Amino acid sequence: MTTPDIENPFFKPFTESEAIPFSRIDTSHFLPAIRRGIDLQLKEYDAIASSPEEPTVENTLMALEYSGADLTRVLEVFYPMTSAMLTDELMAIDEEVTPLLTTHSLALWQNEKIWQRIKSLYDRRESLRLDTPTLRLLTDYYEAFVSGGAMLEATDKARFKELAHKLSDLSRRYGENVVKEMRGMKLTGASRDELAGIPDNILASVEDMPDGSWTLAISQPVYMEVMRTASNRDLRHRLYLLYSRRNAAGPYSNLDIAAEIARLRMELALLLGYPTAAHKAVRRRMAGTPERVMALLTDLRDSYRTALGREMAEMEQWAGYQIQPWDYAYQARLLKANAYAFDEDAMKPYLELGNVVKGVMAMAGILYGVTMTEITGSVDTYHPEVRVWRVEHPDRGFLGLLYLDFFARPTKQPGAWMTEFRGQMRMPDGADLRPYVTLVTNFTPPADGPTDDEPVLLRPREAETLLHETGHALHALLSDCRYPGQAGTNVKRDFVELPSQLNEAFLTRKEFLDVAARHYLTGDPVPTGMVDAMRKSASFGAAYQCFRQLGFGLVDMAWHSIASAAEADMAAADPIAFERRAMESVKVFDEPDGCATSAAFTHIFSGGYAAGYYSYKWAEVLAADAFEAIGGKPGSNDDLDLEAARRFADFVLSRGDTDDPAGLYRLFRGRDADPAALLRRDFPEEE
């Protein structure tokens, strides 16, 4: 065991004044602090297990819930760093940490004495007269022990441990492979003429070779921008193949890893008595069963199919040729400009990043009464580009800190996400620890890095992403929960996307645009005609985007619905063919050979969304219905119902997982969500 180093900042609680002391944290601090945290929590487990007293809520359930503060303190910094700053050094530490934490987790879930104490409380739950959050917490612990193998016989427990270790290692390797592959991804060409149409900020990154050729490093935002703007169809085709075949072959291939993860998850589920991994995962979510998930995906497929046919026919008539996947983003942009008089790029001068941030924060104030004030210089950050805001509420005071990390870099995972450096919790002594929330995106920085002199201009879709992730952040910041395991975004997977998808729906609202959409040179508001055109064009592509999401959901469910070794063998023999069969009913294009969604599908193979990608569509129904309560008829600018917004804050954002999510939604809305709200949102002209 590493000798404790008194200089290690993780060895004592951080003070409120310093927040996370990044300037005092070195990569070398993580492993000793994690080892020490594991040691300390094991001693807490021993104290619970060896207690001679009858199990009570205080000496067992609360003791467990509040154990491991030292370990949590370091992991809440370590894991966000592996997403936003994944250096080779951090990868090496993660490789060593993963088996340690898996062993530590099993040390709890297969601790017979603690299991018997939790089971005793659970068996007596009715006589204990627990309040709803405490009963829910007890039930969650009971279910976690069962899912952790507590009820298995000794031989099966040993196999469970083996499976758990293999799965954690494979998931880590899968995610790291995605980052490694992206680091070295480059598109090359023979002539700069091929780059016609691509905006200057991307062209500034093109490297000219001595022989007259060129090369361009590819990140997720660069890929998306080139696919939208490059007029050279052959270049788009080559880039599509390069990006869509990532991690499907070569040293960082993930296809075998994905198939093995699915196989091991199946075996683990069978060991616990479930028919499939999907049954195990969905059981404790709003959907409840894989059958309900598949019913949702099938119903949406059938509801949107006619609209998809119209969209594709309109696009092909416009383009004059058969659309391929590498054509879609480019032709959709041109078609919207022609048919709806809406040009996304013409909107960019009105969506300067600083103003968009102000608009996002203004909406949070209008809807929920929060204020956000930027802090400069006095709060440490993990990267020079990260900025920090103090978040407050007139009635509740300090809500937490919000760290914003906007720009793509080689060490950052692709995509956008929200996580926490510290979650909200109410301590046993009554102290309310407020969260430190981080919001991360992959916007394209200016060629010379972000400066005050060179503005960062966003497309509407990027502004929508910022709204989306801020919805998650508000879920964490407005949390008012007793137990850390129920606070903030620690809710059911198919409920967690509700606040984020509701927040992105305010993109075209006047209240947002009045602040966010100001010309970066003149300060003039975005022209009314441009906003009207954006609203009218919003329905175009809705069916395509729906089918795209359904494809991801069906692939996810297919991998996690494998029920036998024979099915697992078949999937492993040809993973690409397996996923193509899963997506057949929602296929829009014939994919070229070698392109594989499953090779870089980090959400389900390394990101916690296993058998849960459907949750985006499930939550979209809730969000569309919730928006009607707050924002009125889709596409309109009816006055906001701020009383409904406050109810959403009271019954959804602040309540975490303290009660059944369907019940919380009914408290907000007065009824269950109307499934037709999604169609009304996507096709308001058909109302």
pLDDT tens-place string over residues 174-226: 999 999 999 999 999 999 999 999 998 899 999 999 998 999 999 999 999 99
Residue 642 to residue 629: CA distance in whole angstroms: 10
Cα separation, 487 vs 422, in Å, equals 11
Q: Cβ–Cβ contacts within 10 Å for residue 321, how many?
A: 9
| pLDDT bracket for residue 564 (50, 70, 90) | very high
What is the mean pLDDT of the segment spanning 658-687? Answer: 92
Q: Average pLDDT of 361-386?
A: 96
In this predicted model, what pLDDT tens digit does every residue of 82-98 receive, in sequence order? 999 999 999 999 999 99
Which candidate, 500, 512, 541, places its Cα nearest to that of 351?
512
With CA atoms as reference, report the closest residue to 493 among 349, 288, 680, 263. Answer: 288
**Is residue 293 within 8 Å of residue 557, measured between CB atoms?**
yes
pLDDT at position 445 over 90: no
User: Do 202 and 348 contact (CB within 8 A), yes or no?
Assistant: no
Give, rounded to a whole angstrom, the gap between the first and last alpha carbons of the chain: 67
- The sign of the torsion formed by the CA atoms of 600, 603, 605, 606 equals positive
- Are the CB atoms for 434 and 399 separated by under 8 Å? yes
Measured between alpha carbons, how far is 595 from 597 in angstroms, rounded to an integer? 7
Residue 392 has pLDDT above 50, yes or no: yes
Q: Give the distance, in angstroms, between the CA of residue 411 and the centroid of all CA atoms in the same chain.
A: 18
The residues, ordered by sequence, that sit 6+ positions from 162 with a Cβ below 8 Å of its Cβ are none
Q: Show the CA angle centred on residue 578, arms to residues 572 and 579, nearest 5°.
A: 120
**Chain segment 264-309, per-residue pLDDT in tens:** 999 999 999 999 999 999 999 999 999 999 999 999 999 999 999 9
pLDDT at position 685: 73
Average pLDDT value over all residues in the chain: 95
Residue at 126: amino acid letter: E
The pLDDT of residue 15 is 78
Cβ contact 378:411 at 8 Å: no
Average pLDDT over residues 549-556: 98
How far apart are the C-alpha atoms of 206 and 195, rounded to whole Å? 9
Residues for the chain: how many in total?
A: 687
Residue appearing with tokens 């940490």:
97
Backbone torsions φ then ψ of 513, nearest 5 degrees: -65, -30
Residue with tokens 């299991």: 115
pLDDT at 79 over 70: yes
CA 628, 629, 633, 634 dihedral sign is negative
User: CA torsion sign, 378 to 382 to 383 to 387?
Assistant: negative
Contact of 673 with 622, CB cutoff 8 Å: yes
Decide: helix, strand or coil at residue 207.
strand
Q: What are the structure tokens assigned to 74, written together?
A: 């370091």
60 CB-near residues (< 8 Å, 6+ apart): 48, 51, 114, 117, 118, 121
Residue 230 scores a pLDDT above 80 = yes
Contact 195, 230 (CB under 8 A): yes
Per-residue pLDDT tens for 7-32?
Answer: 899 999 887 667 899 999 999 999 99
Copy the structure tokens of residue 649. Answer: 């804050």
Q: How far is CA 37 from CA 21, 100, 429, 460, in A?
A: 18, 11, 22, 44
Coil, strand, or helix at residue 437? strand
Q: Per-residue pLDDT for 69 more than 90? A: yes
**Sequence-distant (≥ 6) Cβ neighbours of residue 254 within 8 angstroms:** 174, 177, 178, 247, 248, 598, 599, 600, 605
- With the CA atoms of 481, 482, 483 and 486 taken in that order, what torsion angle do they form, in degrees rounded to the nearest 10? -20
In the chain, what are the helix, strand and coil shares in percent, each to the nearest 5?
A: 60, 10, 35
Asked if residues 265 and 272 have their Cβ atoms less than 8 Å apart, the reply is no
R_g of the chain, CA atoms, integer Å: 25
The closest of 140, 13, 33, 151 to 97, measured between CA atoms, is: 33
> Is residue 449 over pLDDT 90?
no
Question: 2 pLDDT band (50/70/90 cuts)?
Answer: very low
Contact 641, 513 (CB under 8 A): no
Q: Give dist(CA 10, CA 277) in Å, integer.
A: 37
Query: Does the pLDDT value for residue 1 go beyond 60?
Result: no
Q: CA–CA separation, 523 vs 518, rounded Å?
A: 5
Structure confidence at residue 430 (pLDDT): 86
| Residue 285 CA to its chain's centroid (Å) | 17
Read off the pLDDT band of 448 (50, 70, 90).
low
Sign of the Cα torsion 215, 220, 225, 228 reads: positive
- The pLDDT of residue 18 is 72
Location of structure tokens 């949750």: 615
Residue 450 has pLDDT above 70, yes or no: no
Long-range contacts formed by 389-398: CB under 8 A, 24+ apart? 389/361, 391/477, 393/368, 393/369, 393/478, 394/369, 395/369, 396/480, 398/434
For the four alpha carbons of 258, 264, 268 and 269, in that order, the dihedral sign comes to positive
What does the pLDDT read at residue 3? 45
Place of tokens 């007890």: 138
pTM, rounded to two decimals: 0.93
